[in-house]
Amino acid sequence: MRVIGGQYRSRILAEFAGENVRPTSDRAKEALFNILALKIYNARVLDLFAGSGSLGIECLSRGAKEVVFNDFSKDSIAIVKKNLTTLKIAINGEQAKISQSDYLTCLEQAYQPFDLILIDPPYRFDYGEKALKKIAEKGLLTENGIAVYERDIPFEGAIEGLEKYDERKYGKAYLTFFKRG
């Protein structure tokens, strides 16, 4: 797995071994960051299900002001820390903050809104929809903020307080984009 653009372009990131892990494909990641290109610079970002941290690191590489990396798994947090250290990004400094908590706890404890929230939970659970509902309920998107939800099926239904404005398919992944409604 590598960083595909920006300051850390082509740098190799540590990742999980095994088949139970599903990182965002380079194709989907490249498409996502092409879509978000003008939204990332100087943005405050939440990588809610950080995994290895590759999505949040991609944001930092492209000029995000701050990324909060959250994951419940201590193994994920260890890999995020390893990747940040490799890139010489200060952990819990101005740019990168680490949160090891359940996604709903992380959202509940958020003290200010984000410009971008990346929601890439394990596909087999409905964590993403619950996260979107909490984001809307707490007003965790800035006025022009975006939440991106990755999953393996198209998004059906609606989230009160958010507007689904785009959805794209890349391989097995669907990227669904939301803004304040």
pLDDT in tens, 11-65: 999 987 644 455 677 788 899 999 999 999 999 999 999 999 999 999 999 999 9
How many angstroms separate the first and last alpha carbons of the chain?
A: 35
| Tokens read off for 176 | 């669904």
pLDDT at residue 21, rounded to an integer:
53
- Contact (Cβ atoms closer than 8 angstroms) between residue 79 and residue 91: no
Relative to beta strand 66-70, strand 96-99 is parallel
Sign of the alpha-carbon dihedral angle for 158, 164, 168, 170 = negative
Q: Which two tokens stand for residue 74?
A: 């201590």
pLDDT at residue 142 in the model: 98
Q: Cα separation of 38 and 140, whole Å?
A: 20
- Going 157 to 158 to 159 to 164, the CA torsion angle's sign is positive
Structure tokens at 178: 């939301």
Q: Tell me how far apart the alpha carbons of residues 173 and 153 are, in angstroms, rounded to a whole number.
A: 7
Q: In the chain, where are the structural domains located?
A: 26-180
More confident residue, 29 or 67: 67
- State pLDDT tens for residues 79-131: 999 999 999 999 988 999 999 999 999 999 999 999 999 999 988 888 999 99
Report pLDDT digits (tens) over 151-162: 999 999 999 999
Reported as half-sphere exposure (CB side, CA atoms, 13 A), residue 13 has a value of 27
| 3-state SS assignment for residue 178 | strand
Kindly indicate whether the domain formed by 26-180 is annotated with CATH number 3.30.365.10: no
Q: Within 13 Å, how many C-alpha atoms sit on residue 79's CB side? A: 22
DSSP 83: H
Amino acid at 141: L
DSSP type of residue 53: S
